[in-house]
Each structure stands twice: as C-alpha cells, then as structure tokens.
Structure 1
Amino acid sequence: MNKIANSCYLWTVIGFVFSVLISCASIGTYAQTAKDTLTGAGKDTNIFKMKVLPLPTLYYTPETKTSFGILNLFLFRVNTSARVSAIDFSIVYTQRKQLLIDPTYTIFTHNENYIINGGFVYSKFPDYFFGVGNYRNDQMHNREFIDYKTLQFHNRVLRKIHKRWFAGLQYQFYKVFDVHFDANSQYNEGNVTGFNGSTSSGLGLILLYDSRDNVLSASRGGYLELSNLYYNSFLGGNSRFHYYKLDLRKYYSFTRQLTLAAQILVNINEGQTPFKQMAQIGGNRTLRGYYTGRFRDNHAWVIQGELRYFIWPRFGVAVFGGVGKVAATLGEMDFTGLKGSVGGGIRVKMLRKENFSIRLDAAAGRKSNGFYVSIAEAF
C-alpha cells in the first residue's frame, strides 16, 4: 500500500474517532440532563423513543441502472428540546457493478446547542465522464467510460450562537484512486485535473441558520448555509483549491397538506480542482433529470422549486422544476446557456409523526431524463 493510501486511511480513522468522541460527549450531556429532569419533575412522557427502520432498496437511476441493497434508518430525539436526529447506513450494489457504502448522521444535542453531521462513503463506481464545461456536453456521444474508487469522510460540528443561528468547523477528506480509462481517451493528456486520481483534505468554516421543522422532509421554516473548505497539502492531500458554498432554502406551508419549497444553490471553486469535486448539476437532488455530473466546471448555480401535496395522510404527489448552469469563471455565471428540468413524483409517508417519506420522481431535462427513488426530500 502506498503512502497516499496510508494517509487516506489514517485521516479517515482520525475523523471517525473525532466524531465518536464528540457524539459521546453530547450523549453524556443529554444523559445527565435527562436524569436531572426525571428526578425533579417526574417522567417525561413526551420523550421520543428511537425508531429503527430497515428498508430493502430496489430502484433505478440513469447513473446506476437497477440497484438493490439495504438501508437501516435510526431516528431518535435526545429530548423534547431538540428536533429528531437521524443516522442511516446503506449498502447498494448496481446493475453496472457499482458498490456504494454510505453511512451518514445528523445529531441534535440538548436544546440544539450543537449540531453534528457528516458521513463516510466508499464507492467502486464505474461511470460516465462527459468532460468539463456548460456547452460541450450537450451531446451524449461525447461521454467516456471510466472506472474508479472513492473514499470520503466529512464531518461538521456547529455550536448555537443565537436562537436558530449556528457556527462551526468542518473537515472533508476525498480520495479518488484506482482510476482506469481508455488509453485513447481525449482526457489522457493531463488537461483535466485529477483524472488519474487525487487526494483532497480540507478544513473550513460554516455559518448556518436552520429553522426547518424536519431535516429529512421540511414543510416549514428556512435554511441558510455559508461555508468554505480550504484544501492544501499540509492537511494530508495533494490538491490545492478553495471551495465556497451558498445554500438558501425556504419552505411555505399553506395548509397541513400543501407545501412549497424553494432553493438557491451556488458552488464556487478557486484553484486546481479535481474533476470529481468540481461544481456540477444533475442527480437525484440538484436539477433532477440530468445524469450526475453531466455538466461540471469550476462554478455552478441552481434555482429550483417544488410543490408537494398530500392527498391522504400517507400518500402525496409533487411537481418540481429548476434552472442552472456551470461556468469556468465567475464572469460566466450569468443567465445564458441555462439548463432546465421539470418533473413530478409521488410521496409515501413511512412515519407520519416524523414526516419521513419515500419519494419516487421522474424528471426530464434538455436531451436527458431520469427516474429516482430515494429517502427524504431532494431539498
């Protein structure tokens, strides 16, 4: 095993231990608070008991074709002063011989004084690469098939600074390795950063406002994230670039059944950004209807909206649409060359009290379409 691989696993283990320690400290704080509450005021009958939801998964997306696996979802609340926390663990294998192992977590501590979220991803993901740019990728025949593996770790720890406002630190490790592609590939001449593999290790700051009623399927409130990541070799990687993100969402609940959700998302990269970490549009969350990474470049922006209506307590429908683009420079982040998509889907509410749903969406973009099955809402 080479030095880069050793560094990769070392940073992943360090991140895992860090997350566990923070989580244990938070749980310990909650345990003492709960004990004091029970001693002084009797049993709190409103405490939310942990719910475990094992789900076999079978779905189709343009990126994976038919996929199957298992998802275990754990929902819990430390006490009534915090929103529902969620931990999920999924293992998926696809018709294209792709393997994805993806545990994630979002934990709210007592009084939501801290928010801890993050996850780990290991993937063996043979995939299509369409090149870089907002215009050259309109034709599907420009794509090339590449085979690679990724190992990712990301974690955030945020402290409440005022009511629904939080600030904190985040760390991300992203390694692309065992890359294989056609020897005659047009990208085999070093004109795409990271095409032969890359290791990125970045540290950054976050300012967050979060008044959503539910992190999985919000129907009221708002969300604002301003964050950055600084990737450099002294953190254990071989990539040097800056990443900035603006994520603004708003949820309007007209009735108990009808919700309008809107999002503005901006991603900016400065420096030599590896192709897998470039800003992109497409996939099951951002401008559905386009293949994930069909359009990618240094920068991207997306505006999208969705109207959700529950016809019955456990069954609903949704319509959505959006526009966006990728750009090489900030000066190109205008309204020319927009990519648009529209679609609709159904929602099946698995847990009514927690407002947790399975969504099935079909969407169409420019010379592109997709069908998606996923847990939680896209945004």
Structure 2
Amino acid sequence: MQFLFIISAKAQKADSSFRTKNQFVPYPVVGNAPETGFQFGFGAIYTFFINHDPRETRNSFIYSFNMWTVKNQAQYAVQSSIWTPKNIWNITVNGIYTDYPIFFYGVGNDTRQSDEDLITSKRFKFQVIGKHKIIKDLYAGLGLWVQNDSFTADDPAGIFNTGDYYGKQGGNSMLIGYGGAFDNRDYENSTTTGSYLSMLGWTSLGINDYKFSVFNLDARHFFKIDPTMCVGAQFAYQTAQGSSAPFYYLPFIGGDQIMRGYYVGRYRDQHMLAAQSEFRYRPWGKQEDHGWFSLSRLSFAGFVGTGMVFSNQNFSFNDLKPNYGGGFRYMFEPVARMTLRFDYGVGNQNPGEKRSTGFYISLNEAF
C-alpha cells in the first residue's frame, strides 16, 4: 500500500476566477508493503488549460510519481492528458519504469494462493495515444506502445521457474494502436454525468517473435441524482490473442481500478470481463469552497462489481467473482478535479484460503 500526502505552498478557492489558472501541486509518498518494506518518494501534478475558457476546452494535466524502497527497488512514472483548444485533439502519454517485486500466481481463473511466487520484474513501458475529434464527442486515433520486460524468481521450485509460461524471458516488444472513442462526460476526472465508450486495438510488430493482438473495450455511464450525489457504471472487456502472446500481456483482474479487493494480477488469462457500479456522495458539495480544509472537497463512495478471466472457448457465468467495498475521497485540485482516493475492497474466499481483500490509496477515481 502507499500513503500519499499532498502539500502546496498556498491553497486557492475553486471559484470562477480560479478555474482558468494553472496549478502545480507537489506531494511526498510514504508507504509500506510486505514485498518491498518501507517505501518513500515524491510526486507532482501540474494542471493547465491550453485554451483558458473552460467552457470550450477541458483542462490538461501532467502527473509524476517516483518511489524507492529500503530493498533498493524503484518506480518512476509520468502520465499526462493534453486537450487542445475546443477539444479537437486529446493526447495521452504514459511512461513507467519499475524495478519491483510482484506476486505471481500463474494463469487461469482458479489459481491458488498456495502457488504464490515472488518474482522481481524490471519493466519499462511507454504508450502514447492521439485522438482527433471527427464530429461532436466522437474521436478516432492511433497509438504507439513500446515495452521492455525482464523477470527473475529466486525460488527454483516456484511456479514461475517450473511452469510453461510464454514470454518468461521478457525482452522488447512494440505495438501499433488504432481505435476510437465517444466521450461526452462533464469532467475527465471525478465525472458526475455523461458517457464514455472506448474501443482500442493493438497489434504487435513481431519483435522477439512476439506476434499477438490486444483489444480493449471500456464503456462507462454516469448520471447525477442531485448536486451532491451521482452513480457511475463501467463495463470492461480485454483480450490478448495469438499463439506467441507473452504472459504479461494477458488481461487480468485486481488492483485499484478493476475488481478492487483482489491483488493486481491475481487472475489472468486470454480474456477479462468485468462490470462495476459506484455510488458517490459529497455531503457538503453545495457549500462554498474555502481552500484545503473545506468540507466541500470531501466525498464518500460505495461500489459493487463482478468479473473473471477465461481462456478461449472456456466461458461460464459460474466463474464470475464478486467484489464490493467503499471508501472516501479528498479533492485536492478542484480545477482538474484530481482526488486522493482511499478504498477498501472485498473479494471472494476460495476453499481453504483467506478471503481476498485490498486497501488502496490512489490518485483519482477508479473509473
């Protein structure tokens, strides 16, 4: 888990005069996890408008997260979403490097806790997607995905070293992306009303003989009950196809976004299917914002969902796994509606195992 604390030189009110101002927010990162020990680092968020009329152009942001551990592990990440005037172009860039341990459980929807294998992963990923507005709220675009991976496991008898998982040697890979999106959400972050539908395909270029394709479908809808309450729903489907698809490109459930309550990558296979719904409530949302300690920035949420992974021609509704939970959020940057999110998720309990749970401290909503 990670604990993030937000610090800024001065707080500003989220009134109409502030809504077109750029803002830089640095913060330290402190945390602890069994596989890493003590974690420490820093991050920063910069939000800005390319067109200073927020009625015509969404705000853009650049976000950086950098962390080290007492076991000489590291993670560096940069993410951004840039909106050009009148939202004609949206360009997203994600870059991350990790030298970090992860738990590996194998492939399939019925992996066992007893097979847990700690592996060290050194991974670099760079992804850029450019989308151009075709007509109102409808976008089409292209992308580039470059990745380098290496994995090692200390236990010679563990499932990683003894199992037949394609791509264990890691190496370089490159994919070309193509697809489109419909987006009429009121806000990109902390959405309260509107819909989002993205269909994005990726095709590998055959580097290291990795020949495969990836397809992602992400559908979301939000409706506002009143100024303090809204409900959101998401349906997600992902698939990786090809006889030479590395195991680490297989879709998975778990983590702080899809199927909260399961360890990230706890289940992975050729297909991933998930649905979740969330109720969000800002009790003091009608009050005027008075800066960092304003109650109007505090909100609460409850969520419920289900999902699974499965191989080709092996789908069954009986394999769906549940998840539910709740938490609270603090909106530390009202212009970009950036939030610090605290969630506790609960999953299923396999026979002979502890119930799956997870506590998450993350930036922004899960969807």
| TM-score normalised to structure 1 length | 0.82
Runs of 4+ that moved beyond 6 A: 44-47
Specify the alignment match of 1:281 in structure 2.
253
1:198 pairs with 2:171: yes
Specify the alignment match of 2:29 in structure 1.
57
Alignment of structure 1 residues 153-192 onto 2, 5 Å? 153-177=126-150, 179-188=152-161, 191-192=164-165
Q: Distance in 1 between matches of 2:91 and 2:335?
A: 23
The question of whether the paired residues in 2 share the 8 Å contact of 1:199 and 1:238 is answered with no
Candidates 216, 227, 249, aligned match of 1:256: 227
Shift of 1:196: 2.3
Q: Which has the higher helix share?
A: 1
Cα-to-partner distance string for 1:247-306 (whole Å, 9 max, x where unaligned): 000111111111111100000111122121110000000100000000001111000111
Q: Secondary structure at the match of 1:371?
A: strand
Cα-to-partner distance string for 1:104-123 (whole Å, 9 max, x where unaligned): 11000011111100211100
Specify the alignment match of 1:228 in structure 2.
201
The question of whether the paired residues in 1 share the 8 Å contact of 2:151 and 2:168 is answered with no
Shift of 1:346: 0.8
Q: Secondary structure at the match of 1:240?
A: coil
Cα-to-partner distance string for 1:319-366 (whole Å, 9 max, x where unaligned): 01110000111x333312111111110111213344322110111111
The question of whether the paired residues in 2 share the 8 Å contact of 1:78 and 1:110 is answered with yes
Specify the alignment match of 2:297 in structure 1.
314
Specify the alignment match of 2:99 in structure 1.
124
Q: Distance in 2 between matches of 1:111 and 1:69?
A: 36
| TM-score normalised to structure 2 length | 0.85
Q: Secondary structure at the match of 1:55?
A: strand
Number of equivalences: 331
Alignment of structure 1 residues 60-139 onto 2, 5 Å? 67-79=39-51, 80=53, 81-94=56-69, 98-135=73-110, 137=111, 139=112
Distance 1:227 1:196, change over 3 A: same
Specify the alignment match of 1:24 in structure 2.
none
Q: Unaligned stretches of 5+ in structure 1?
A: 1-43
Q: Distance in 2 between matches of 1:62 and 1:260?
A: 35
Specify the alignment match of 1:328 in structure 2.
311
Q: Distance in 1 between matches of 2:233 and 2:309?
A: 20
Percent of aligned positions that are identical:
30
Distance 1:320 1:68, change over 3 A: farther
Cα-to-partner distance string for 1:34-61 (whole Å, 9 max, x where unaligned): xxxxxxxxxx978712110111123467
Candidates 266, 273, 279, aligned match of 1:301: 273
Q: Unaligned stretches of 5+ in structure 2?
A: 1-15, 285-295, 349-354
Q: Distance in 1 between matches of 2:185 and 2:252?
A: 26
Q: Please tell me the residue identity of whatever aligns with 1:261.
A: G
Candidates 180, 183, 199, aligned match of 1:207: 180
Q: Secondary structure at the match of 2:317?
A: coil
Shift of 1:66: 5.5
